[in-house]
Chains A and B, each alone.
Chain A
Amino acid sequence: DTAVSQTPKYLVTQMGNDKSIKCEQNLGHDTMYWYKQDSKKFLKIMFSYNNKELIINETVPNRFSPKSPDKAHLNLHINSLELGDSAVYFCASSHRQQYGYTFGSGTRLTVV
């Protein structure tokens, strides 16, 4: 009965590889998000996706691409992984931003 679930929880991979992180929410929310948390705990919005409208943070490299097969899923695909991509990635969902987000438990990505 997990509200927002991400898989995998941990991901260790080599530079140059392509990987995906999956996110699913069962709350009936209409907006989903991807956040990146760096080693200093700073949270940075990467994408939000609402009713097939994708809003991209312009500072995110185009190696990162969100894919939403339906309203309950927002996956994150990363091409040509770099050392600097190592971070914790959080998926979140909301009905409306003013009511707050529900976060997944995070995916710790380590690029070696």
Chain B
Amino acid sequence: AQSVTQLDSHVSVSEGTPVLLRCNYSSSYSPSLFWYVQHPNKGLQLLLKYTSAATLVKGINGFEAEFKKSETSFHLTKPSAHMSDAAEYFCVVSDDNDMRFGAGTRLTVKP
């Protein structure tokens, strides 16, 4: 069985400072991993995905994530936060049969 844990329910950063959203996963197989973003009152948008290619994955809006098998982690980072990054972020683990969402991390960006 697969599972995903987002280690922080809420992260607050100042504009222009780095962002780190943490995600750990558990999977019996070589999983695919994703990060989705949900802006207020909007649907979920795919930020980036890892599907067993390069371990450092670059996504949209300057986000990237690194797959670390030894740590079973897939943390999301961005060098410099922008006000428009304020949103809910979901880490997702998937194999061909099942897809599991984390509980979400709410990112707040202070001016």
Residues of A at the B interface (CB closer than 8 Å) are 40-43, 45, 90, 92, 96-106, 108
* A-B contact number at CB 8 A: 52
Please give me the residue from chain B that is nearest to A35 by CB atom: B101
Residues of B at the A interface (CB closer than 8 Å) are 32, 34, 36, 38, 41-46, 49, 51, 88, 90, 92, 94-99, 101, 103-104, 106
CB-CB < 8 A to A108: which residues of B?
41
A86 to B72, CA, bound (A): 35
Contacts A40-B103, A100-B49 supplied; 10 other A-B pairs, CB < 8 Å: A41-B103, A90-B43, A97-B97, A99-B32, A100-B94, A101-B44, A101-B46, A101-B99, A104-B43, A106-B42
**Can you identify 21 A-B contacts, CB atoms within 8 angstroms?**
A41-B88, A41-B106, A42-B103, A42-B104, A43-B90, A45-B99, A92-B44, A97-B95, A97-B98, A98-B51, A98-B96, A99-B32, A99-B51, A100-B46, A100-B92, A101-B44, A104-B43, A105-B43, A106-B42, A106-B43, A108-B41
